[in-house]
Amino acid sequence: MLVVYLPVTKLECFTEKRQSNVTHQLFHRCMDSLLEPLKLAGKEGKEMTCADGWVCEVYPILTTYVADFPEQCLVTCCLESRCPQCLVLYNKCGLPAWSDPQDQ
């Protein structure tokens, strides 16, 4: 589901030295605006109906964990020759789903 379009611009109205900084500022202002309702719900709470039918006040928390491929493998306890996100066999990594590794 598409949530938002972020602006993409070269910001040629700024000097080359400032373009990188202004690009970062623009991205963070956009994300701040996008996540404002979620931040408000995290601070003030939001009533939501649970699976059992009861209405509860929840305080959602948004978090992320960024890791490169070796760290993903370490965290998920899988070998680096395996995919930490799916069940692809080691001999089929990088191949289209319809290909047969024996043809290689």
- 48 plus 73 within the same structural domain: no
pLDDT winner (highest mean) among 8-17, 49-58, 90-99? 49-58
22 with 51, same domain?
yes
What one-character DSSP code corresponds to residue 81? Answer: T
Residue 8, CA distances (Å) to 16, 30, 31, 64, 81 in order: 16, 11, 14, 23, 36
Counted domains in the chain: 2
Task: For 61-97, write each residue's pLDDT tens digit.
Answer: 878 777 887 887 787 777 766 666 677 776 776 666 6
Residue 84 forms part of a structural domain: yes
Q: Are residues 8 and 50 in the same domain?
A: yes
**Within a domain: 26:** yes
What is the value of pTM for the model shown?
0.51
Domain span at residue 47? 1-59
Assess if residue 35 is contained within a domain. yes
Evaluate whether residue 99 is within a structural domain: no
- Tell me, yes or no, whether 51 and 86 share the same domain: no
Residues 41 and 3 in one domain: yes
